[in-house]
Structure 1
Amino acid sequence: MASTVNGTALPGEAAPREAAPSVAALALPEFETLAIEVLDGAIAVLRVNRPERMNSQTVTMFHEFGAAALALRDSGLRALVLTGAGTRAFCAGFDLDEIDVITRMGVREFLAFQETATGGIQAIRHLPFPVLAAVHGPATGGGLALALAADIRYAAPTAKFSAAFVRVGLSIGELGTSFNLVRLIGPGRAAEIGYTGRLVGAEEAARIGLANRVVPSESLLAETLATARLIAANSPGGVRLSKRAIQRNLEITSYAAALELENRGQALLTRTEDMPEALAAFKEKRPAVFTGR
C-alpha cells in the first residue's frame, strides 16, 4: 500500500488509486458573515468570516448557516471542513455588541429567532456528508455549539471550549448543546462544564473526548483536510449511511424534542432579571449579581 502525506504519494511509491469525485456546480448565495471555498477532491471549507470580531455570531450569521447548508446539501461534496477565519478564534459565541437586537424582541419573536438559529446549526449537523471542525482559539457559547455540530473535531493547542451560557444568564440548553455535549462526553462532565461555564483547554478536550486530537497550530487546517481527503476517498454512499447510522443511534430520545425544550427555556430566560444584569455587568467590567428573579 502506498504511503501518502496529505494525499500525495511519497517518493518512489505509486500513487493510491481512488475514484475522482465530482461536485455539481454550486450556486452559492452571497454571504456577509461566512465564506465557502470548494477544493479539489469534492471537499469544501466553510469559514466563519468575522475575524475582526473573533468570528462572533450575529442574527445574520444564523440565517446564513441555514442558507449555506442548503446550498451544500445536494452538491456532491464528500466532506466539509468548518473553521474560523484568521488566527485568533474559531468562533467566540454571539457578538454582545449586537445583543440589543435580541433583548428588544418579544417572546414570540425571540422564539422565532431561536428556531432560526437552532435550525442553522442543525442543518450543518445534518449535512449528509461528514463535517470536520478545525478549532483554534475560543470556541465558546454558540461557537461550542457550532463545533459540536461537526462529526470530528481537531483542536490546535490554542483551542478553548466553553459552554459560557450561564455567564450571561442563559442555560446550556442552547443550539443543541445540551443534547450533543452529553452524548459526546457524558452527563457528569457535561454538567460540570455547563454549570461552571469554565474554559476547557485543548489537551483536556482531547482527553475527555470533546476533541478527537490536538494538532499543531501551523498544520491544523492541513491535517484536517488530510482526514477529509481520506474520507472522500471512501464510498460516498457508505460514508453517508455511516454518518446517518451514527447520528440516528445517538437519538435514543428525540433531538427535535430536545430543541423544542431548549428554545422555550431560552425564550423564558430572556424575560428574567439575570440576563440584563449579566450583560450590564459584562459591559461595566464587574461581577454580575444574579438573583434568580
Structure 2
Amino acid sequence: MTNAMQDKKRPFKGHKARHFLFETDEDGRVATITLNRPEKKNPLTFESYEELGDLFRSLARASDVRAVVLAGAGGNFCSGGDVFEIIEPLTKMAMPDLLAFTRMTGDLVRQIRACPQPVIAAVDGICAGAGAILAMAADHRLATPDTKTAFLFTRVGLAGADMGACGILPRIIGQGRAAELLFTGRVMTATEGHAWGFYNALHDGAALHDEAHRFARMIADGPWFAHTMTKKMLDQEWSMGIEELIESEAQAQAICMATGDFRRAFEAFAAKSKPDFQGD
C-alpha cells in the first residue's frame, strides 16, 4: 500500500463514543464496544443506532484496530430498541420516516458485516430483538449458559424480516430453526444456540469477557490482511455460484500470497520461530 493510502488511515485508540463505551488495548489492536445502559438492559436508541453504524463504517480507515469485541454492561447484552425512546415514537411516524428508520437499522448490520475487522459478540443475559440481530451480525459469538436470545419482532406485530434476519439467520442455524424462531419470537436457550451453531462456545459469566478478548487478541495478532480477506469472502460468497466463488477465492488467496505476512510466516516456520504478522 502506498504512503498516500496509509495517510488516509487514523488510530482509534483514544476514540470517544457518546452513546456507548469504546476502549482499546494499549496497542489499539482490539477495540471493545460496550452498550452501557445496564439499568434498562442496554437498549438501543435512535442515537446509538446511528453512532454504531457510523463507527463500524469508519473502522475501515483504522490504522490500529484489528478485531472488535461487542458486549453489554451489567450482565445483559441488549434488550433491543428502547420501548419509550424508539417503539413509542415509531407508532406515530408516517411511512417515509419509518422507512428511513428501518434503512438506518439495516445499515448497522451492513456496516458490521462490511467492516474489515472480525467482530466477536460477548453475549450474556438478555439478547432480544435488535440485540439478537447485533449478535447475529457478528462473526463469532460467545455466550453464557444463562443467555436468553429472542428474535421477538412478531410479538409486537412485526415481521421476522428485520435487519437481515430472514437472510442471515437461516445461514447460521438452518432454515427450519430460523423459521420457528422468527415466527414465534420464542427464546432460544443458550444450550440450543450452542448446539445449533449460533454460539461458538458457552462460558461462565465471570469468564465471558476474558474469553471474548482472548479470541479477539488471537485474531488481532494473526495475519491481519488475510483475516480481512477471509471475512470479505465469507460475506461475499453467499450470493455466488460454485464457479464464481472458486475463482474469487483463487484471486483472494493469490493476493494474500503477495503479502509480506506470507513470506514472514514461511521464514518463521523455517527458523522454528513465531511469525511477526504486520498486516502487509
**If the TM-score is normalised by the length of the shorter chain, which range does it land in?**
0.7 to 0.9
Q: Distance in 2 between matches of 1:174 and 1:158?
A: 25
Contact 2:151 2:160 in 1 (8 A): yes
Contact 1:80 1:129 in 2 (8 A): yes
Q: CA deviation at 1:117?
A: 1.3
Structure 1 residue aligned with 2:124: 136
1:38 to 7, 12, 24: 24
When normalised by structure 1's length, the TM-score is 0.75
Give the direction of change, closer, same or farther, for the CA distance of 1:239–1:27 in structure 2 (3 Å limit): closer
> What secondary structure is seen at the aligned counterpart in 2 of 1:90?
coil
Structure 1 residue aligned with 2:59: 72
Structure 2 residue aligned with 1:150: 138
Contact 1:82 1:133 in 2 (8 A): yes
Q: Distance in 2 between matches of 1:240 and 1:213?
A: 23
1:159 to 136, 139, 147: 147
Structure 2 residue aligned with 1:56: 43
1:229 to 217, 225, 232: 217
Give the number of equivalent residue pairs.
Answer: 230
2:202 to 210, 214, 234: 214
Contact 1:92 1:142 in 2 (8 A): yes
Structure 2 residue aligned with 1:124: 112
Alignment pair present for 1:201 and 2:189? yes
Q: CA deviation at 1:252?
A: 4.6
Percent of matched pairs sharing the same residue:
34
1:107 to 84, 95, 109: 95
Structure 2 residue aligned with 1:92: 79
Structure 2: runs of 5 or more not aligned: 1-8, 242-280
Q: CA deviation at 1:30?
A: 5.2
> What secondary structure is seen at the aligned counterpart in 1 of 2:122?
strand
Which region of structure 1 is more displaced relative to structure 2, 146-155 or 25-34? 25-34
> What secondary structure is seen at the aligned counterpart in 2 of 1:61?
helix
Superposed CA RMSD: 1.8
Which amino acid in the other structure matches residue 132 of structure 1?
A: I
Render the CA deviation track for 1:89-147: whole Å, top value 9, x for unaligned: 10011111222211111001110111111112221222111000000011111001110
Which amino acid in the other structure matches residue 115 of structure 2?
A: L
Q: CA deviation at 1:66?
A: 1.3
Structure 1: runs of 5 or more not aligned: 1-22, 254-293
Q: Distance in 2 between matches of 1:132 and 1:101?
A: 31
Q: Distance in 2 between matches of 1:100 and 1:193?
A: 24
Which region of structure 1 is more displaced relative to structure 2, 67-76 or 241-250? 67-76
Alignment pair present for 1:174 and 2:162? yes
Q: CA deviation at 1:179?
A: 1.4
Q: Which has the higher helix share?
A: 2
Higher RCO, 1 vs 2 (CA within 8 Å, ≥6 residues apart): 1
Give the direction of change, closer, same or farther, for the CA distance of 1:37–1:83 in structure 2 (3 Å limit): same
Give the direction of change, closer, same or farther, for the CA distance of 1:85–1:73 in structure 2 (3 Å limit): farther
Which amino acid in the other structure matches residue 58 of structure 1?
A: T
